Every structure is written in structure tokens, then in C-alpha cells.
Chain A
Amino acid sequence: MMAAMRALGAHLRAHLAVMMQYRGEVLLWSVWGIVNPAVLYAMWSAAAESSGSHEIASYDRAGLAAYFLVMMIVGHATGAWDVYQMGHFVRTGVLSPMLLHPVLPMWRSLAENIAYKVVTLMFVIPIWIGFAWLVGPAFKATAWEYLLGTIALFLGAALAYLLSYAISLIAFWAPKLDALGEIYFALCMFLGGRFVPIAALPDSIAGLARVMPFRWMYQFPTELLIGGRVGFRDTLIGLGLQIVWLTFSFVLFRTLWFAGLKRYTAVSG
């Protein structure tokens, strides 16, 4: 574990330097995380106008503004792209040299992930502020909710990273399945509440979303940080479920990793 942490630190420094070098491109990528929630805000606030109650799932216009603003931040924190890349790594053998390192390739990928998120903060924070100024969001969070919401945000980010990494390992068995990333993305979009708060989904889909892990990555931290939406008891249950899903993801990762590695070395050996 210590070795892993040291490796993480070294990779982190290296990737920070790389990100700084390619800041132009990094900027272009990070803007993507802004555009999608902003477009959804525009659409849902226009939809709210013509809905009878002027609300979507009990969010009025200012509430939607807050929802999608926080969703931008949560989206930034939870971003993970191994699920798009792993198939390519397995297919082309890029993974092989990574396996020669004494630490898991996941640490290297995690370092890259964190470096990206840290460096892009300097681009996205001004855009978040600009968006907030433009749309006038309504926040009701108390200090407690901010604190617990921040914890939920980090747990959600960890869960999003670990689960997507575990899912990406399906590539060991289906390296040509390039659609894996897109399928996973669609699940996050609808079942995580990134497209719209889950209550607004068609009933069958909403029911599915309630039992899946995705809401704990996106909607749960978002609603905590907006404030006045999640009761204290539900907050504790939510944090507990985040940890349960995190444990599940870890076990899933371990299982798939070792089984997949056996297969990979057997096939490509």
C-alpha cells in the first residue's frame, strides 16, 4: 500500500506536468463537462415554463439552475474514462508494459485522473461562476449539508472511479466492445440523475434508478449540496449506501482484475 501511494505521488507529479504542457487541449476537453449540464438546464427550464406547475420534479427554475450547476461540479469530480480506453489497451497490447510495473495500472490511471481534475479546475471554476451568475441558482444548504455534501461528493467520486474501472475490465473478455463506454455513460446519464432528477423519469426507469448505484454518485451529492431536499436520516442512509457500493465495487474490481489478468496472460502469452 505504501509503495502504491508513493507511485501514485510520482505519477501525479508527472501527469500534472504533462497536463500543463497540453493545457490547450485539456481546456477543450474540460469544457465538455460544462456544456452538457448547461444545455440540459436550458431545456428543462424551458420545459418547466409550459408544465402546469412550473416545476419539474418539484424543482422550479432557480432550483433547476442550482441542480445543473452542482451537477457540473459533481460531473467534474466523478469523471472517469478508463471504461472507454480499456478495450483499446487490451487489444493493442498497451496494457502489457503497464503490467511490468510493480504497482497496479489502476494507480497510474488514478493519478492521471486526479491530475486532470486538478489542472482543469483553473479553467472550469471561472466557467462555473459565470454560469451561476447567468442563471441565478437557489441554494438552501446549511453548513451541515455543505459538509456532508462534500463528503458525499468525494465518496461519489471514488465510487464513480472504482465502479467504472471495474466495469472497464469487461474488456478482458470483450476487447472489441467499444460501445462499453457509451453504454456505461448512458446508464450514468439516466439512472444517475444527470439528465434530470430521477423523480421526473418514466416510472419504470425511475424504479430501476432507485436500486442502482449511479444515483449515489450524482444525484445524492448534488441534492445534499443544494440543500433542503434530503432529510438527516436519508443522508446517513445515503452515505452508508455509498460505502456499501464502494465496497461492492472494490470486490468486483478485485475479482474481475485477477480473473481478467489470468485470461489476458493466457491469451496473449
Chain B
Amino acid sequence: MTRALSLISVFVRVSVQNFAAYRFEFFVRMFVSVGHLLAELLAVQTIFKNTPEIRGWQKEHMLVLVGVFRMIAGGIRMVIVPNMRRVMEDIRNGTLDYVLLKPLDAQFHVSIREFVIWRVTDLVLGGSLAIYGSYLTLHTVPFDKFILFILMMVAAFTIVYAIWLALAAICFWLIRLENIEMLFWNVFEAGRFPVQIYPAWLQTGLTYIFPLAFIVTFPAASLLGISGKGITPTMPAIAFLVGLIAIILASMLFRIGLRRYAGASA
């Protein structure tokens, strides 16, 4: 465990060092992050100009959701996307060989190689907005809600990681298929708004088949601490269960893919 952490810290340190050399790009990208957030705030402004609430979500609630969406989107692009893109490239180019030559678990190794440091701005901006929305709603940010929120976010990132790992593993079979990640982005787009806006059958699908509800809606709801948005006292437990199942399935798929890559299954 300490070895794993020290390894991660080496990769992060290398990323930070090299990032420092591109300060200009950092400012451009900060600007882009703020721009994204402004566009999302304009969307919220527009929605609540036309209606007082949507399926129980009021304006302050929606601010929390927008903040969470930005955090998740930023976090995915900071760690998960760059690593999974690289492993897909490695599979295609045959450079995955070098990963397999290392005395290190392959799945762990391919998941920690890349960090897009400036995406931290998304985490900070999104997090601030979520806390602000929570404060507007509750006039305080209760400690227990905050802890619950952190737990839900951990579960959310676990699920997202599992989905991406599975997508990357699919490349072991469909080597020529590029842009497989569009599968994710297409569905993720639906997470900009709470799952409650969708018809019941789609809500179920987005909760248990592609667990988008656990990725955006439920963490946001947990910070608001109001019932009626799908949040129940058992929700964190279910979220962790979903995360656990997702990660086990994805790891299995990745392992089978690796065996196929090494010709062990043929």
C-alpha cells in the first residue's frame, strides 16, 4: 500500500514538474474551465426563469448538481481519461508489452501513469459551486452531509473508473475500434440533469444498468440531504456495492483481455 502510494506520488510529481513549464496554457485552460462553468450557470439561469422547479429540484439544488457534474467531468479528464486513452493506444501499438515487462500489477500500472494537472481547476470550481448551492439550501453545510457526500463521490469515481476500464478492455478484442469512449460520453451527457427528469424506465436503466444516477445525481442529492431525490439512508451502502460490483467485473474483463493479449487463452 505504501509502495503503491509512493509510486503514484512519483507519477504525480513528474506530471506537476512538466506542467509547470506550460504556465501560459494553464491560464488558457483556467479560462476554459470558468467558461464551461459560466455556460452551465447560464443554463441553470434559463431553466429557472421558466419554471420554479423540475421534479423537486429547485435552483439552489441544481447549482449543487452542476457543481458535482463539473467535479466528476473534471476528475474523469484529470486521471481516468488520459490513462485509459493511453492504454488503448498501447494495445493498438503493441507498446503494452513494456507494461507487462514490469514487476508491477498491470491494471494498477496502466491506471496511474498520466495526470492532467490543470483539471484540478474543475474540481475546485465544481466543488465550490456544490458547497455554495448546499449552503444556499440549508444555510449551513452540515458536517455529516459533507462526509456522506465525500463517500458518495468516492463511490462515483470508482464506478466511472470501472466503466472506463471495461471500455479499455474491450480494445483487446476490437483493436481497430477507435472512439469507443464516445459510448461513455453519449450517456454521460444525460447526467447534466438529475435522472428524475427521465421517464421511469430510463431512470431505472440509468440507475442500475449504466449507473449514471450514482455518478452525478445521488452524490449531489446527498450534499443537499433532502429525501425524495432518490436518497435514502442506505444509499451510500448501495453506492459502494454498485461500485464494488462494477470494479470486480471490469477487472475481470481486463484480466481476460490481458490473457488474450498474451495468447494464454488461444
Contact = CB atoms under 8 A, between A and B. Distances in A.
Interface of A: 22, 24-25, 28-29, 31-32, 35-36, 39, 42-43, 46-51, 56-57, 176-179, 182-183, 186, 189-190, 195-196, 200-202, 205
A49 B50 CA distance: 11
A43 B42 contact: no
B227 interface: no
A50 B53 contact: yes
Contacts of B52: 50-51
Contacts of B32: 178-179, 182
Given A56-B50, A202-B45, A29 B179 contact: yes
A51 B53 CA distance: 8
Interface string B169-190: 0000010011110110111011
Interface string B10-39: 000000000000001100110110011001
B74 to A, nearest CB: 14
B50 A200 contact: yes
B42 A35 contact: no
B146 interface: no
A50 B50 CA distance: 9
B177 A39 contact: no
* Interface SS of B by simple majority: helix
Given A43-B54, A201-B49, 12 more contacts: A25-B177, A25-B178, A25-B179, A35-B190, A39-B189, A42-B198, A50-B53, A182-B36, A186-B39, A189-B39, A190-B39, A205-B42
Given A31-B186, A186-B35, A195 B28 contact: no
B96 interface: no
Contacts of A189: 39
Nearest to A26: B179
9 contacts: A25-B179, A25-B182, A29-B179, A36-B189, A39-B190, A42-B202, A50-B51, A196-B46, A196-B50
Report, as a range, how many residues of chain B touch the other chain: 35 or more
B193 A176 contact: no
B43 to A, nearest CB: 7
* Interface SS of A by simple majority: helix
Contacts of B36: 182
A195 B192 CA distance: 13
A136 to B, nearest CB: 12
A180 to B, nearest CB: 10
Nearest to A186: B39
B55 interface: yes
Contacts of A202: 42, 45-46, 49
Nearest to A179: B32
Interface in B52-85: 52-55
B198 to A, nearest CB: 5
Contacts of A32: 182, 185-186, 189
Contact of B182 (A28, A43, A178, A196): A28
Contacts of A200: 46, 49-50
B175 to A, nearest CB: 12
B138 to A, nearest CB: 22
Contacts of A29: 179, 182
Q: Which A-B residue pairs are the 9 nearest by beta carbons?
A: A28-B182, A51-B51, A46-B197, A47-B51, A179-B32, A25-B179, A43-B193, A35-B186, A186-B39
